[in-house]
Amino acid sequence: MLEGFRDFIMKGNVVDLAVAVVIGAAFGAVITALVDNVLMPLIAALVGSPSFDGFLLLTINGVDIKFGVFLTALVNFLLIAAAVYFALVMPMQKATEHMNRRRGITEEEAEVDPQVALLEQIRDELRTLK
């Protein structure tokens, strides 16, 4: 029983997933700090408030409908998405392109998924059978 558990834990995908969760949590803290301490104060300097929670507050029969809270969440989402894209995705794409150029791999070669290539071969073979 313990041997099976050890084998399960030592599988590459379990370890990779654990590393991804830890790195994701750490990177989440960096992005949150960037949004809360840099981007939102810049918005506050431009708009006057870092939060839109009080904006478009509508009261119907004693019930508050808070469009501003939704607007704040939407702005936070867009800022986080922009921060992730410009701080992580774009530099990783540039680094991958640079490494592929150094290795002499063309863009077409780098983008072909082996499964897609196999499916294309099967499709081509089926066409010749007709």
Going from N- to C-terminal start, the domains of the chain cover 2-129
74 token code pair = 């939407």
Using one digit for the tens of pLDDT, what is the confidence trace for 109-121?
556 678 888 888 8
The CA angle 34-38-41, to the nearest 5 degrees, is: 135
CATH of 2-129, one of 1.10.357.10, 1.10.1200.120, 3.40.50.720, 3.40.50.970: 1.10.1200.120
The parts of the chain modelled with pLDDT lower than 70 are 12, 107-112, 130
The pLDDT, as a whole number, for residue 51 is 76
The DSSP letter of residue 88 is: I
pTM for this prediction = 0.55
Per-residue confidence (pLDDT) for residue 110, from 0 to 100:
55
Q: Which residues contact 84 (CB under 8 A, 6 or more apart)?
A: 31
Which helix H or strand E contains 82, and what residues bound it? Answer: helix 67-84
Q: Which residues contact 57 (CB under 8 A, 6 or more apart)?
A: 64, 65, 66, 67, 68
